[in-house]
Structure 1
Amino acid sequence: MHNTHEPKLISGNANRPLATAIARRMSMHRGMNVSLVDARVERFNDQEIFVEVYENVRGEDMFIIQPTSNPANDNLMELMIMADALRRSSAARITAVIPYFGYARQDRRTKARTPISAKLVANLLTEAGIERILTMDLHAAQIQGFFDIPVDNLYASPIFALDIAHQFNGLCDRITVVSPDVGGVTRARELAQRIGAGLAIVDKRRSRPGEVAEMTVIGEVEGQICFIVDDLCDTAGTLCKAADKLIEGGAEEVHAYISHGVFSGPAVERITGSRLKSVVVTDSIQPTKAVEDCPNIRIVPTAPLFAQAIMNIWQGTSVSSLFEHETLAPIYEGLYGSNGR
């Protein structure tokens, strides 16, 4: 049902630039100013989190913009405490906009006596008063089933397809999309179908957690421009080794399209010294200065996608329509010109 009130946005500290960009995009679409709700989200000396909302939110449709990236626990607690503050202030509905959903890699028990932390996080968010989740490229699709509330999982691949069409105009017959492991084949195939490219797989075998013992390229990459596609990049070890393997297999160039740039530890240094010509990531996680200064990392915006999704949720219209290139292209009009590389 269409809400008589305007949608209201509030942001934690995890990615304020993205929240501000979403508000700006919504202002353009609405033809009126949409600003972030005035609030303070800060820490006491003992690092306890305190939230105070300065505006009346009674009966309002509230959207909390807060990825649960590093520091994951702090950002998760901020999100839940903000939700509690809004619930106790009589907000009509609380939607958590979580561009990057932390703990998503702990979606199953990998061995005895281990937790399923993603399910625990789902329970915590629901108990905090959140009634809907909007996120992007969950590490494991089944996490949607961990919630007993609606979960809208957006995809970065339509944005990547637009970027590829702009950056590599006329070269699609020379492009091969590569999955860095067998588990990511569905994601890679989906992008390959969008741009009309071939598909290859890098089969990796680990001797122990965090260490890749052997890699094998499955598919034809000789003379091709290869795009490694993955949902996140953490330490970049696998990504850089996969690039080396593809170059050894005769690939002309290797690029990477990554939904979430976690970039922990030596990741940026590895990418800088790697054979990757470019690594394209979204701004779902606020980039550090090292990431922004890295010559072969490029950031594409998600604010147009999230702004439209928030408006669709508020208006009660389809969110899944944003999965399609035809719907997304007008939203990103102006960000991508008609020229090629």
Structure 2
Amino acid sequence: MGVALLEEKNKSSNYIPGLGDFSSLITPSPAADEDASATADNESGKKCGPPRPQEQPLRSAMDDEPESEETEEYYVDPGKHKYMKVFACSDSEQLASEICANLSTTKGRAYTGKFADGEVIVKILDEVRGQDCYIIQISALRRASARSITLVTPYFAYARWVTRHMESEGVAGDPALTQPATPLAASDIALMYEAMGVDRIVTVDLHEGSLEGCFDVPVTNIDPLGLPLKYFLGKDLHNPVIVAPDSTASDRAFLFWRRLQNHGVNCGLATMVSNRKLGKREFLLLISRDFGRDCIIVDDIIDSAKRMSRTVKDLRQHGARRIYMYATHGVLSPAAMERINRRGVTEVVITNSLPFPEHARKSEKIRVLSLGQVLAEVMLRIYEEKSVSQMFWDNQKKEGSKRPSGTATV
């Protein structure tokens, strides 16, 4: 009976191909068949319930036998997220697939094409009237009468252009970027999103927290440090030191140091302080002068890797043992890969907030952590009108330790 229902569902016009052969097998809507249900497996290996033996046929609520509690775990509630739609642009398909897999839903269908003159056309192929949409194709969904539009942009472009005295790493011929004529592009992007109908922004690890003030709509800035925390806790680190490559990264490095301390890791904290007027860099070790230690450089973006390269050089001069680099957003320009492969950095850890560049795939020094599960949980909490900050409350409760007092210039 269950197999027949599944075959009928596949033939119906409501069936939407999704993440793979079986990742999008979601039950029909209650309006179409209130009693039918099916399973939803995703590519990452997570299932909606315990594994079913291969010889056991697909079951339906219409079978004669009453459903047991164990049987109910095999199925996804077809109406749980029926007013939620997730759309992806071409360069975020993989991350969107992971998010949908964690939400046990399929991606919304949209067509994106180009005219001969390069203009882009976007057509929404699903009904979105009255739906809560999490999207990239903003204005097209607004015109289709979506109830709300949440823009999920893990990497907020132009976030480094939030002040006139922006850092100019990675920009050729850049002295003029510190002049009063420098545009505040981040603010312009914020206005553009709002003009196109965005109701909420979800992003990850903004370069400048002050950027949230550029928006009139709610902004959810996700703290992703739990991902590298779990990763490095699994490493056999020797007397580690957390290093901020610049004063602008010191707060982020301090938060990571504090979380490691809260998990029982006795580690040091250091920062590189640049005096841009004098063109000098000073190395400040806030905890312990001992070296021959493993170092973890913590930053938000690795683009040209110039700052990483300088910091690695300084750490080597002070006797560092192994040097790791964590950056949330891996822009990884070709010049960055040359520096990563040439310099003495042991490993560079990033997230998949940006598509992984093709020229970086051959490097054995890059590790990518997935934001899929975190973003899916945030989106679900927004959809169900639950607190997003509660996700990170456990870490926040533990972070009661104080910033180390006293500095030692090495």
Say whether the fold is shared (TM-score over 0.5).
Answer: yes
Counterpart of 1:56 in structure 2 is 127
1:68-83 equivalences in 2 (<5 Å) = 79=136, 82-83=137-138
TM-score, structure 2 length as denominator?
0.69
Q: How far apart, CA to CA, are the structure 1 residues paired with 2:212 and 2:290?
A: 35
State the match for 2:320 in structure 1: 251
Q: How does 1:86-165 map to 2 (within 5 A)?
A: 86-110=141-165, 111-165=179-233
Q: Do residues 315 (structure 1) and 384 (structure 2) align?
A: yes
Once the two structures are superposed, what CA deviation does each residue of 1:174-204 show, in whole Å capped at 9, x if it has no partner?
Answer: 1111000011111000000000132100123
Question: Per the alignment, do residues 113 and 8 of structure 1 end up closer, same or farther by CA in structure 2, a change over 3 Å counting?
Answer: same
Per-residue CA deviations over 1:99-142 (Å, capped at 9, x if unaligned) read 00001001022332222111111000001000000000000001
With over 3 angstroms needed to count, the CA separation of the structure-2 counterparts of 1:279 and 1:26, relative to structure 1, is: same
Q: Distance in 2 between matches of 1:207 and 1:4?
A: 55
For structure 1, the residue ranges without an aligned partner over 5 or more in a row are 28-33, 65-78, 328-341
Of 160, 166, 174, the match for 2:239: 174
| Structure 2 SS opposite 1:318 | coil
Q: Does 1:21 align with 2:98?
A: yes
Query: CA 1:4–1:286 in 2, change beyond 3 Å: closer, same or farther?
Result: closer
Cα drift, residue 45 of structure 1:
1.7
**For 1:309 and 1:294, how far apart are their aligned partners in 2?**
32
- Residue type matched to 2:89 in 1? G
Percent identity between matched residues is 31
8 Å Cα contact 2:259-2:395 kept in structure 1? no
Cα offset, 1:265, TM superposition: 3.6
**Match of 1:223, as an amino acid?**
G
Paired residue for 2:40? none
Kindly indicate whether structure 1 or structure 2 has the higher relative contact order, using CA contacts under 8 Å at least 6 residues apart.
1
Query: Which residue of structure 1 lines up, in the alignment, with residue 269 of structure 2?
Result: 199
Which structure: greater helix fraction? Answer: 1
Three-state SS of the structure 1 residue aligned to 2:333 is coil
- In 2: Cα distance, 1:207 partner to 1:54 partner: 55
**Number of the residue aligned with 1:215:** 281
- Rg larger in structure: 2
Count how many residue pairs are aligned between Structure 1 and Structure 2.
297
Structure 2: distance between partners of 1:148 and 1:269: 41
One-letter amino acid of the structure 2 residue matched with residue 19 of structure 1: A
Unmatched 5+ stretches in structure 2: 1-79, 166-178, 262-266, 397-410
Distance in 1 (alpha carbons) for counterparts of 2:282 and 2:365? 25
Letter in 2 for 1:124: M
